[in-house]
Amino acid sequence: MVSEMPRVTQTARWAAAQRARESQRVDRLFSDPLAAVLTGDEGFKALEISEKLNPRHEDTAAYMAIRVNFLDDFILRLVSEGIRQVVLLGAGMDARAFRLESPGDTTVYELDHAELLGVKEEILKKENARPVCHRVVLATELQSEWAECLMDAGYAAAQPAIWILEGLLYYLREEEVHSVLRQISELAASASGFGADVVSEAR
């Protein structure tokens, strides 16, 4: 059942379900071949339930499709300009390391909760999925020493990087947002790129 999944995993698989749905459209904005398997039955069930509860679910789907497409283009443009580090904070079930045509010497760092990444890696292993670039998976919490973990994994602070915080900031408390942005500022070299989405406070 959906309720048996940890909330962070449920959210990640729900987002993957949105990407899988968009990938099936004839007029799709992007294609994510791994989205459906990363979603699983639980993720599609979560999407089905959310659509019943959200009268504007079509707007939500459109927003997410545009967001993914925009960030895809953002990453590819900066990679084409020579940046070879991509950091995905709150990576969830993101499969950009497998589907975006990046140079082989690009390194994609995926940071998220250990339990979520454990589920993801098990699925990718069963699918025999192979990334198109160098992929580094880091199980860490944003409330812990994630920046130190990133540095220990080989991140080069002297080199520019592409930072992606997709569907993340609005799940954090305000002080956590400030902390994450401060640490990114300390780690990001000149000419780095930053891509994120935010929403206004609900009233």
Range name among 8-17, 78-87, 93-102 with the lowest pLDDT average: 8-17
Query: Could you tell me the sign of the dihedral formed by the alpha carbons of 89, 195, 182, 84, in that order?
Result: positive
46: nearest Cα among 56, 30, 57? 57
pLDDT at residue 150, as a whole number: 98
Average the pLDDT over 64-89 and give the result: 98
Looking at the predicted structure, is the pLDDT value of residue 2 above 80? no
CB 29 within 8 A of CB 139: no
CB 150 within 8 A of CB 187: yes
Looking at the predicted structure, is the pLDDT value of residue 184 above 60? yes
Span between the terminal Cα atoms of the chain, in Å: 31
N residues, the chain: 203
* pTM, to two decimals: 0.94
100: nearest Cα among 33, 149, 28? 33
* Distance separating alpha carbons of residues 168 and 170, to the nearest angstrom: 6
* Distance separating alpha carbons of residues 50 and 71, to the nearest angstrom: 24
Q: How confident is the model at residue 203 (pLDDT cuts 50, 70, 90)?
A: low
**What is the per-residue pLDDT across 118-177, written as a single tens digit (0 to 9) for each?**
999 999 999 999 999 999 999 999 888 999 999 999 999 999 999 999 999 988 999 999
The CA-based dihedral angle spanning residues 146, 98, 70, 31, taken in that order and rounded to the nearest 10 degrees = -140
Average the pLDDT over 87-98 and give the result: 98
Q: Which two tokens stand for residue 156?
A: 């080069």
Looking at the predicted structure, is the pLDDT value of residue 1 above 90? no
**What is the per-residue pLDDT across 6-63, written as a single tens digit (0 to 9) for each?**
677 889 999 999 999 999 999 999 999 999 999 999 999 999 999 999 999 999 999 9
* Distance separating alpha carbons of residues 74 and 76, to the nearest angstrom: 6
3-state helix, strand, coil in the chain (%, to 5): 50, 10, 35
pLDDT at residue 143, as a whole number: 84
* Distance separating alpha carbons of residues 87 and 193, to the nearest angstrom: 10
* 51-68 burial: b if 16+ Cβ within 10 Å, else e: beeeeeeeeebeebbebb
